[in-house]
Structures are given as C-alpha cells and as structure tokens.
Amino acid sequence: MSREADYTIKGFIYQFNKTLEQVFSEPSGTEITVEGIIEDIDVMSSGFTKAIQCKYHETKEKYKPSDIAKPILQMLVHFSKNRDKDIQYILYAHFSDEIVGEKIISKIEIETILESKDKAFINYISSLKPPKNKIIEELLLKSKKSAEEIKTIAEYYSTATDLDLIIDLDEFLKPNKFKFVIGKAFDDLISDTKYLLETKSKFSKLDIEELFYPNAIQKIADKSILHNSDDRKINNTHFISELEKSKKTAISRWTKELLSYSTLLKKRRNQLKINLQKNHRLRYFLFSEDSIENFEDEIVQFITNYIETYHHKIKLHSKTPIFCFNVRNTEMIPKIESRLHQKGLVIENGIRGNDFFETDFLREPKVIITQNWREFHLRLCPYLEETTKAINSKKSDDLFLIGKQNFDKINKQDVNMEFLEVTNLNELQYLLLLTDNID
C-alpha cells in the first residue's frame, strides 16, 4: 500500500475517532450524523447544529491558508444559502506542530482565500461572488465544462475587480458561527476517545481495548457508507447499549489500522475457538477474491489445512463444509478443484454435464467407517444465483464471510455469522486455529 493510501485510511480513522468523541462528549439525547448532510460530522441538539469538517494533515507541520481553503470555501457557500439556520461551522484540522485548540482566522485570511486562482475552487468562489458577465453565467450553469471553458471562467475571475461578495464575512466569523480548531494528535485522540467510553460506560479498560472500542470504530465505519442520511444518524443516549449487544470483536480494514490489531486478532481467535472446538458443526465459507491478497495461490493450502484439522474424522466430523468463491473469472474454480484433487481431496460441485443440480450439491457423502473412507470431503462452488439458492436452502451452523463483501444474496437469519474482513489467508488461518503464527 502506498504512503498516500496509508494517510487516507489514517484520515478516515481519525475522523471516526472524532465522531466517537462527539458521541461520548455531547449531552444525552444529542443526534450525531456520520458523514453528515452539511459536513463530515453533524451534531444536532434542540434545533442547533454543529457542522464539523475533520482534516488530518500528518505530514504538514504548520498550516497555510491554502491547506484550509477548500473546507473554508465549502462552509462559506453553505452559510450563504442557510443564513436563517442556527448552524455553527467547525473546521477541526490536525497539523503536527500547531498547538492544539482554537485558532483565530482573520477576515484578511478569508479574503485571501476568496482571491484564489486555483481552478478547483471556481465553483465555490463563483457562488460567493456571482459573475457580472452573461457568458460566464451560462458557462457556470453547465454541469460538464470543457478544459477551455474552465480556463475562460478562471481568466474572468483572475481579472474581474467589480464583483460583490454576497455574504458578510464579519457575521460568518462570529464565534457562534465559525471556529477553527487545531485537532489533537492521532494517538491522543484515540486515547481520549477510549477514556470517554470508559467514563460513559461500565466497561473495563481491557474490554474497551479488545472489544468495545474497535466495535465502536466499526459501527461508525459501517454508518459512514450508508446512502440514506437517516440511517447514518446516531442517538448518543442509545449508543453504549447498542455496543453492549455485540460480543464479537470486529476484524476489518478499519480495525486493522489500530495499534492493538494483533491483540484484537488474539481476542477474536479466542471467541471463534468456542465453536471451532465443536465437532458436529455445519460450516459455510464465502470468500471475496478481490479482498484477499494472493487468493488463487493460497486458497488450496488453506482448504487443505482446514479439512485436515476440522473434517478428517469419519465419526466425529459428519457435516460437509461448503467453500463458495466470489471471483471475477469463474474459470478459476476448475483450476482450484484440480489442485485440490492433487492434494487428495475429493469435491462435490453439483455439476453434471453443463448444469448445476442442487440435490447433488447438497447430498451427504457415502462413508465406510471401517475403512475411514468418505465419498467426498467438501462442497465447492462459485457465488452465483443458483448456488446461493442451494446454500440458502440448507442453513449452516456457522457462516463465515471472508473479505469486504457482504454477500447480500445469502440468507443470514438463524445462523451464527462470523464476518472476518481479513486481507490475507494467513490471518484467517490464525483466527481459525490452523496456525499459531500471526505474521
């Protein structure tokens, strides 16, 4: 992963922690919207809204007006259209060498931002300083503009001196309307968030570290991608009680970024161990190929290790597992079957000729206990309409969803669902007790 990608993910984690800080620090009954309608975090109580935009600049020591130009312009535009509403705009931005706390931005700095020649800011500036040229007006109304049209607009704004600002900057810069806050360091914000969770709940520090804090981060992350804004709302009065309901530590791309990830893996491993130690369990594994590094190269060894550990005793291991793959190219499946055959594993795929037959796919293998022989060791299939219908028709005891995908076609009711958003199969082997090596 590139350094830029690392910083992007860290920025999201920073924003999620800031969201949690608001959830835990606001008065009871406050409504917080994740990825709010106005800004990254909308905090609403008694008709008053705090609209917080969160920025994490780990590599920048001191702020420059250009670093905050875009969020400031976005806030000014929203302010211009909502002057009758009780909204306080807060820019919460971390710069490594700035002193944490509120920082004053002068009217001159805002005016400098409004004079920016950056083409990326034209739409914002033109909303705040409408053009006095009919041609430019018409160009601005176009949903798609050519490079030449953007150049024409930019040249107009770089030379026009008679444009009027439609808002009162003094009004916007009042403390009840706008605040610029230098944000806490990444680790400090996490530490403070955990402390707030401790003070607001009866959770122990250990449970917060291994269960409730990572699950809180995951809950915010899950909310952030929902399309409907009402679904992204959190009532902070109920947030703690909702956290209490989850007894499984979230393992995902978000919790992987936490400093305690190896500890979280150990905790999740112990949680999974309870059911893994039960012999008569029907288990289905659904894999998202795109989410897992070296999937095609390593999946055969994973399945082999699983069968050798959990499905090799004729008397005790009586329920045949299903391995289902969501892959870009289904031609990969026969190749995996061939490699498994070379490892001595017999597969039932439900294919007879060119067609898939559910009854054959779901049938139980013949066994000869005295010879320690079974007809086949596992069921294997691609993630398709017909195969998911088969999976849904016979419920498993444990349903393992591996990777980022939610597998919407699968009926998850009345099964023990284990969602493991691992990025490599070694982590999965560790979680399933197939190896003691976490690296």
Mean pLDDT of 136-140: 94
Q: Same domain, yes or no, for 149 and 268?
A: no
How do residues 264-299 score in pLDDT, each as one tens digit? 999 999 999 999 999 999 999 999 999 999 999 999
pLDDT at 253: 85
In this structure, the number of other CB atoms found within 10 A of the CB of residue 190 comes to 22
d(CA 233, CA 210): 25
Q: What percent of the chain clears pLDDT 70, i.e. is strictly above it?
A: 98
First to last CA, the chain: 17
- Whether residue 234 lies inside any domain: the answer is no
- Whether residue 423 lies inside any domain: the answer is yes
Q: Same domain, yes or no, for 174 and 316?
A: no
How confident is residue 439, by pLDDT bands cut at 50, 70 and 90?
low
How do residues 85-97 score in pLDDT, each as one tens digit? 999 999 999 999 9
Mean pLDDT of 310-323: 93
Mean pLDDT of 252-256: 88
Please identify which residue in the block is written with the tokens 């004079």.
115
Q: Same domain, yes or no, for 197 and 333?
A: no
Query: Which residue among 203, 226, 245 closes a domain?
Result: 203
d(CA 405, CA 384): 14
- Angle at the Cα of 237 from the Cα atoms of 12 and 248, rounded to 5 degrees: 60
103 closest CA partner among 192, 7, 178, 161: 178
d(CA 2, CA 14): 18
- Whether residue 249 lies inside any domain: the answer is no
| Amino acid, single-letter form, for residue 233 | K
Least confident of 157-166, 253-262, 425-434: 253-262
Residue 140 has pLDDT above 90, yes or no: yes
Q: Same domain, yes or no, for 182 and 322?
A: no
- Whether residue 309 lies inside any domain: the answer is yes
Query: Which residue among 182, 203, 224 closes a domain?
Result: 203
The mean pLDDT of the chain is 93
Query: Which residue among 185, 203, 221 closes a domain?
Result: 203
How do residues 321-354 score in pLDDT, each as one tens digit? 999 999 999 999 999 999 999 999 999 999 999 9
How do residues 14-43 score in pLDDT, each as one tens digit? 999 999 999 999 999 999 999 999 999 999
d(CA 288, CA 403): 5
Q: What is the DSSP letter of 46?
A: T
For the record, the structure tokens of 412 come out as 């998850």
pLDDT at 301: 98
Q: Same domain, yes or no, for 265 and 199?
A: no
How confident is residue 6, by pLDDT bands cut at 50, 70 and 90?
low
Residue 122 has pLDDT above 50, yes or no: yes
Q: Same domain, yes or no, for 15 and 139?
A: yes
151 closest CA partner among 180, 119, 178: 119
Please identify which residue in the block is written with the tokens 């998911």.
388
DSSP secondary structure string for all residues of 388-432: HHHHHHS--SEEEEESS---TTS--TTSEEEEE--SSHHHHHHHT
pLDDT at 178: 97
d(CA 123, CA 360): 61
Please identify which residue in the block is written with the tokens 């968030």.
193
- Whether residue 280 lies inside any domain: the answer is yes
Q: Same domain, yes or no, for 280 and 397?
A: yes
d(CA 382, CA 332): 9
- Whether residue 108 lies inside any domain: the answer is yes
For the record, the structure tokens of 404 come out as 């980022």
CATH number of the domain within which 365 lies? 3.40.309
- Whether residue 77 lies inside any domain: the answer is yes
How do residues 352-410 score in pLDDT, each as one tens digit? 999 999 999 999 999 999 999 999 999 999 999 999 999 999 999 999 999 988 899 99
d(CA 411, CA 379): 18
d(CA 34, CA 72): 20
Contact 334, 347 (CB under 8 A): no
305 closest CA partner among 333, 336, 272, 340: 340
Residue 140's DSSP bridge partners are none
The count of structural domains within the chain is 2
Q: Same domain, yes or no, for 153 and 16?
A: yes
pLDDT at 398: 97
pLDDT at 2: 44
How do residues 181-234 score in pLDDT, each as one tens digit? 999 999 999 999 999 999 999 999 999 999 999 999 999 999 999 999 999 999
d(CA 404, CA 253): 8
Residue 4 has pLDDT above 50, yes or no: no
| Amino acid, single-letter form, for residue 119 | K
- Angle at the Cα of 325 from the Cα atoms of 323 and 326, rounded to 5 degrees: 155
pLDDT at 427: 95
Domain residues for the domain of 187 are 3-203
Least confident of 245-249, 302-306, 321-325, 428-432: 245-249
